[in-house]
Each structure stands twice: as C-alpha cells, then as structure tokens.
Structure 1
Amino acid sequence: MRSRYWFHWVSAQGIPRLVMRLQARRGDPFAELWGGHTGWAAPYPLIERLRAEGRLVHTPIAWATFDYELCRSMLRDSRFGVRPVGDYTAPEPLRSLAKRFPLPPSPVEPPSMLVIDPPEHTRMRRPVASAFTPRAIERLRDRVETVTDELLARLPTRCTVDLIQAFAVRVPIAIISQMLGFPDEDQARFLHWGDRMTPLLDIGIPWRTHRAALSAMDQMNDYLGSHIERLRLDPGEDILSSLVSGGELDSHALAATGSLLMGAGFETTVNLIGNGVVQLLAHPDQLQRLRNEPQLWPNAVEEILRFDPPVQTTTRTASADVEIGGVQLREGDTVIVSLAGANRDPGAFSDPLRFDIGRDNAREHLAFSSGVHSCLGARLARMEAGYALRALFERFPDLRLAGPLERRRLFTVHGCARMPVELGRRAPVPEPIPA
C-alpha cells in the first residue's frame, strides 16, 4: 500500500513540487503564490504581479490566466476540459505506469464528476442535481437555521474560542451529513477525513500530506462501502439512497460521488464563513452598514465570494489546438484558471480591490466556477453562509479576533485552519431573520 501511495505521489505531485521549489528560489511569483507563506496568507498582491505580466502567463507547470473574460470563456468553452492533477503534471511514461496501480474511489480521480467531461459528467451529475434545486435547498432552510442557532447558543463567552472548529465547520457538516443519510455521531470522522483529503486538490503537496490524504481516502471508502450496502437493504430519503435505488451508478461511482459530495458539501462553506468573518472584521464600516441595512446580507455574501473566494483556482485543458487571449494553445496544454484573479479584474469590477457589500455586480464573480462544472451546491453554500454570518454577528456584536489567524497551507483552497476570537457579550436573540 505504502509503495503504491509513493508511486502516485511521485508521478502526480513530486515532480511539480521539485520544479516549483526550484522556481521559488529564483523569485518566481507564481511559485511563491503556489507554495510560499506569502502565497498562503496573502495571495492577492502576487496575483496582481502576475496579472501585470499579461492575459495568459506561462508558469513552470502550465499556462495561467487571471483575466476575467478569459477565465469565464474557458470555463464555458467545450474545447477546454478537466483532468486529474497527474494527467497534466506528470510525463506520459509516468502517467502510464500510474494507471497500473489504480487508487480507490476518490473525489479527484475518475469517475468523480470533478475530473470528467460530458457525456460521462452529465451521467454522473444528473442523478444528483435534483437534490440541489432551488426548491430542495429551500426545504433545508429550517434545518440550517436550527443547527446555526443551537451552535451559537452553546458557544462559551468567557474564553477564547476557535471559531472555525467551534462553529464554521459545524453548520455545513450537519447539513450535508443529513443530506447523505449519515448518522450525526459520524460527523467527526468526516471532518477528520475531509481535512486530510482536501490537499489532493492541490499541486505539488508534500509526501507525508499525500500519504495521509490517501490513507484517509481508504478509510472513507471502507465506511462508504458499508454504508452503501446498508442502503441497498434499507434505503432512506437521502441523496445516496436515491442514487443506490436508481441503479445508474455502480459501487465505485457511488463511493466516488459520496466522497465528493461530503467533502465539497462542507469545505467551501467552512472557508466562506471563515473568510466572511475575517473581511467583515477588517472592514468595520461595511459591518456597520449591514447592521443599518440588513437587507444587504445576501449581497454581502456575494462580495465575500468575489473578494476572498474559498476556492482560488481550477484548471482546464485544451482538447484541440485553440487560440485564446492572443496565444496559440496546443491540444493538451493546461491552463490554471485563477478564480480569485478573475474576481479582482478591473476590467470586470470597478475598484476591485475595495470590499463593498453594496457592489452592484458582485454576483457576477466566478467563485463557484461557471459552465457545466459550476458548483452544484452553490445555492446551499450561499444560504448556509448567509444565515450563519448574519446570526453570528447579531448574537455577538462585540466579536473580535483574539490572536493571529492560522491560514490553511494550500494553493487551491483558501481559508483559515484556526481563528481565535473573543465573542464578547451575547445579545438577546433577535426576531427571526426573514428569508
């Protein structure tokens, strides 16, 4: 098992890690954005440096764009598809060898819908999509509000609290667990597995991180395999039960879909809530405006997504020779699409480096991607984060940071691993927040 893990790390992660570390020593801003402390903690100045180099920038491992129109175009263009990380970072001989050592079902390997294109992507996404329609998400509103209110009621006020672990992760994990039919007592397992598996979305992660991620993936798949077999005998009213009963997906595809939905179901929202707290505390004038104009909360969530998105990048690979942005790309060329860069493009957003909860076109951000691979759970994330943030600041109006933030050491996912806060006084529970 260990040798299989190591081989996959070398082919998909080890080579780009070596290249990027060498480039970082030479002062390459993209290498610093990818793996340096500045990149993890404060990526936006580096993004602006790279934007100044052109609409398409050639990096040590792929092309990259920080241009809104190019990003939006590629995300919607059928001539650009998705691939697993190893398919564009490893040489062909290593890719061929890696296929001889298949990994268990994973959110970042086929048949996960994250890394496959139509028509296979359509087949995998269609049976899941009904659980994320506007009507289906609205039915979850009461549950979101109940979970949030209960968590806030239990937060201690006379000590420093890690807001991420005590609150931000707890809201979305409770909701997605219910949607997938998992017992409440298993939420801690999924938080543990998800925390270790998320780095698989990155490029060039360390060997120990990769090994821990695949070990967690094996444990999750053992759990999902047993859970799916139970659902075959006694299905419920959750998403996985529907998929099992539908018979469209085999056991491998069911496990891949289950692990993807579980991870994506809380990972984006956790970081959206955390980033929202950071930005609102950093911009007290905007927080005060929300107190005066609470009807702006939905737009505030959109501005948080634009200004400090929880997912910073995605990738697309040309399926044919294509010219875009004045550059001729060849079939197989991969482009790192900077969602964070697109969201701060002055060509798309006026005064983009200003955090403005009243911004007219904030919702035009690309934080949830675009096109066929747009985030399936975007509506749910908006609802969860919108209620969680508003309720948090209403219940604890004196909330403040109580120490330095611990940022996640990742390139793709942007958020806080730890956020020490002092909650201050607990305000009386306000009138119910209207939908």
Structure 2
Amino acid sequence: MLRVAPAASLKERVVERTAKPAVRWGVSHGLPRLVINRAARQGDLQGRMIATAMSEPYVDQLQPLFDELREHGPLVRGRLSFVTASHAAVKEVLGSNDFGTGLPLPADGPVARLGRWSASDVFNPVSPPSLLVTDPPDHTRYRKLVTRVFSVRAVERMRERTQQVADELLDALDPDRPVDLVTAYCGLLPVTVISEILGVPTGMRQRILELGAAAGASLDLGVSWRQFRAVEAALREFDDWLTGHIEMLRRHPGDNLLSHLIEAQEDGVGLTERELKATAGLVLAAGFETTVNLLGNGIALLRRHPDQLAALLGDPSGWPNAVEEILRFDPPVLLTGRIALRDTEVAGTRVPAGIPVTTVLAGANRDRDVFADPDIFDITRPNARDHISFSSGRHHCLGAQLARMEGEVGLRSLFERFPDLRLEDGAARRQTRILRGYEHLPASLR
C-alpha cells in the first residue's frame, strides 16, 4: 500500500532542501556578489581587486592592483571594508588582539537572522566551530589538541615516510606517457600523508582528494548558485563520510590523530561531536589543499626558470629556500579577513569596532619595502621566508611546517627523477579564487 508522507514532513523537506540553501546562497554569495560588482563598476579599488581575482587565476595579473593599493597608503578604506597589501599592516592586523574572525553583521539584523535560520549543520570550513572562524578561548582549546602533531620535531619524523610516498608515486608513473601531475602526484602526495596522520583508509584517499577540490570554493565570496550547490553537495558527502569514519574509529581506535581526539572527547576534556567533526575535517582538508597548490605552482615556476632549476639539481641544499620563494611568489592562498573587535588603529589609521579589514597575503608578499625586486622569482632570495603565505598571529597555519617539508621532498624528488620534465599545453588554473593553484598540469616526463 502506498503511503503518503504527512504534509508537514513534505513541507519541512522542501524548506531544508530548497528554501534554506537558497537563503544561504543569497546571504553568503548572492548579496556580496552584487555589492562587489557594483563597487568595481564604480571604480572602487577594493571592488576592482576582488572582481579581478574572481576572473584572473594568476597572481601576476593582480600585481598592478596591489601596487595601486599601496600607493593609496598602508590601509585603504574600500566600499566593502578596509583593505591592505602592506606587509607591515597585514602582520599588524593578523597579530593584533583587537581583531577577530567572523562576519561584520549586526547580530540582531535581518541578514544575520536569515543566516542563522538557514544555517546548515554540515561541516563547513568557514562556519563555526571551524578553527578558521573561531577566536579564543575556543580557538586555543581546539588548537592545543592538534598542535603537537605539526611541530617541527614531529614533522621531521614524518620526512622519511613522505619520501617513501613520493618515491612510490613516482615509481608508478610511466616515463613514456604524458601525465597530469596534479592528479597523479601533487594531490596524492599530501593527501596520503595527512590521511595516515588521521587514520583515513587508503581506498578513500582519492575520493577525499576529489571532494576537497570540489569544496575548495567554500572559501570564496560571490560564487554562482550552480557552483554553490556543487560545493554544498561535496561538503555534505564529506560530512557523511566523516561521521561514519569517526564512528568506525570509536569502535576500532588506532594510533592516529583522530582516534586521540575522540578519546579526549570521551574523557570529557575535549570536543563535542560538532567540534570534533569541524576540527578533524579542517585538519584533513587543509592538510592537503594548500600543499597541492604549492607543488603545482612550484613545478610550473621552476620549469619557467630552467636556470634556477639547474642550480637546485646541482646543489640540493637550496631546496628549502626555493620552497619559501615559491610560497612568496605564487602563494596558495590569496587573502584573509578580520573584524575589529573594538575601536583601534592600524598603520596610523583609525578602524572602528565592527569594521572588517581584508589582508591581501599575496600583495604583502610583493611589498617593495620588504622584498627587493619583488616581481622577480629568485630561489636565492635571502629573506624569502619573510612571506606571509601561511597567515600570521594566532591563526598562523597549523600545517605550515608539514607543507614546507612536503614541498621540499615532493619537488626535489620529482625533478631528480625526471630532470628533463616538460610541461605540455593544457595547463589549467583552479576556478577557486581564495585558493590559488593548478587544476591540471599536463607533462611529458622524458
């Protein structure tokens, strides 16, 4: 006998599947997209920069706007927020206790209320309790639980295993056949390492990589409705998998970070279920997303500068500094933002409470006050490590040391194995705008 669901149940499902996603998109992307495009058309410098970032995949194409921004001063008031591409001002904002994360919306305003009504319970890297958008004391509590895994000493212990993974991936490549380096190497190396840290089964790693790539646009502002739906679908699948994986580790714990986080929670010391998923999900996604970009960007830069690659092959001691210069010149993350928690000052400019500041990491990395000839790629640059590609302050990237080590091992191993590697036509940058890297990088290995 055919049973008809109660009208109330059907209505609730329509609201959850149709109305709430539409409102989420409108609040998070539709309205900001209108504001950005209008500001850009009216000549607003910040609007022009964001609109250009949404259409131009290479940082070099944004460099004239970074220069123009600095010509207006270290901190510029745009239509949407204050914005800075000054190295000193970026570090000041990111390191100041006068700034926090979050959205610049009145808590009792209509947009904020719509946001709360339409909020999803699915893991999202830009929704609390994600480490990216929480402040002390919660941020401190979450971070302490995972910091020890990513210390300099702990990362060095992982170097040998990372080398083994790189060698295995390179052994699997056919030197006589073209290969997409992003899918066959740049993605699989970091996702394998971070998966082992978190106890992710081998058979799930390729799918995790695909879901991470699909969900990367969740960090962007002003994405289309179609892209938003694809991002939400990827995040929901990832959330469903993560829920099942946590349940499996509860029954069969192992010697991995996620099992330790679960134990801490069960002892009443650590995390709620939502906090556990948010912390584990972000560590897993961030543990490979930026490194995929670092490796791809590094391969492309070194092939475009064969003299510098030759110098590295002749003297491998230069690889650590080369990785720092790659991070400076073509950073995996374009920008980040903060909100003034109280009236304060940055670079001599008053910033009222509740006003956001956009810190352009890629712009700070090209600041002529810090880097001589910043538009030149130079692996011997003495202060390359002064870049801010991993952010700064209390939100400095947890996995920075791991990414550096994987970048060094991954790039050195690839070029030592295939020194005559040649990039072919068909390279494509990612469509994401906050995360910057290659989606495809076709190459011939001989």
What TM-score comes out, normalization by structure 2 length? Answer: 0.90
Counterpart mapping for 1:224-235 below 5 A: 224-235=242-253
Alignment RMSD (CA, Å): 1.8
Question: Structure 1 CA distance, aligned partners of 2:220 and 2:301?
Answer: 24
In the TM superposition, 1:40-51 aligns within 5 A as 40-41=57-58, 42-51=61-70
In structure 2, C-alpha distance between the alignment counterparts of 1:38 and 1:201, rounded to whole Å: 16
Superposed, which structure 2 residues align to 1:65-80 within 5 Å?
65-80=84-99
One-letter amino acid of the counterpart of residue 206, structure 2: A
Q: In structure 2, do the counterparts of structure 1 residues 412 and 217 end up closer, same or farther at CA, with 3 Å as the change threshold? A: same
Q: Partner residue of 2:39?
A: 23
Question: Larger deviation: 48-57 or 6-15?
Answer: 48-57
Residues 29-428 of structure 1 aligned to structure 2 (within 5 Å): 30-36=46-52, 39-41=56-58, 42-83=61-102, 87=104, 92-104=109-121, 105-247=123-265, 248-424=270-446
How much has 1:19 moved relative to structure 2?
Answer: 1.7
TM-superposed CA distance for 1:225, in Å, is: 1.2
Distance in structure 2 (CA, Å) of the matches to 1:129 and 1:204: 33
Over alpha carbons, which structure has the higher Rg? 2
- Indicate how the Cα distance of structure 1 residues 109 and 360 shifts in structure 2: closer, same or farther if over 3 A, else same: same
C-alpha spacing 1:60/1:207, structure 2 compared with 1 (3 Å): farther
SS in structure 2 at match of 1:252: helix
Other structure's SS at 2:226 match: helix
Q: Residue 15 of structure 1 contacts residue 89 of structure 1 at CA under 8 Å; is this kept in 2?
A: no
Note the alpha carbon deviations across 1:64-111, whole angstroms, 9 max, x for none: 10000000111110001111xx55599931111211233123221111
Distance 1:60 1:156 in 2: 52
When the two structures are aligned, how many residues end up with a matched partner? 422
2:159 is aligned with what amino acid?
R
What are the ranges of 5 or more consecutive residues in structure 2 without an aligned counterpart? 1-16
Amino acid at match of 1:43: L
> The residue matched to 1:316 in structure 2 has which SS?
strand
Q: Which amino acid in 2 is paired with 1:407?
A: R
Q: Which runs of 4+ in 1 moved over 6 A?
A: none
Amino acid at match of 2:433: F
Shift of 1:61: 2.1
Letter of the structure 2 residue corresponding to residue 134 of structure 1:
V
The answer as to whether partners of 2:362 and 2:389 remain within 8 angstroms in 1 is yes
Residues 420, 445 of structure 2: 8 Å contact kept = yes
Q: Give how far 1:43 is off.
A: 2.5
Q: Once the two structures are superposed, what CA deviation does each residue of 1:316-357 show, in whole Å capped at 9, x if it has no partner?
A: 111011121232211011111011111111111122112111
- Determine the structure 1 residue equivalent to 2:6: none
1:39 touches 1:46 (CA, 8 Å); kept in 2?
no
Question: Given residue 117 of structure 2, which amino acid in structure 1 is its aligned partner?
Answer: R
What secondary structure is seen at the aligned counterpart in 1 of 2:439?
Answer: strand
Query: 1:87·1:95 contact (CA, 8 Å) conserved in 2?
Result: no
Q: Which runs of 5+ in 1 are unaligned?
A: 425-435
Percent of aligned pairs with the same amino acid: 43
Query: Greater shift after overlay, 181-190 or 42-51?
Result: 42-51
Measure the CA separation in 2 of the matches of 1:69 and 1:91: 35
CA distance in 1, matches of 2:338, 2:40: 24
Q: Give, as a single letter, the amino acid of the residue that structure 2 aligns with 1:309.
A: P
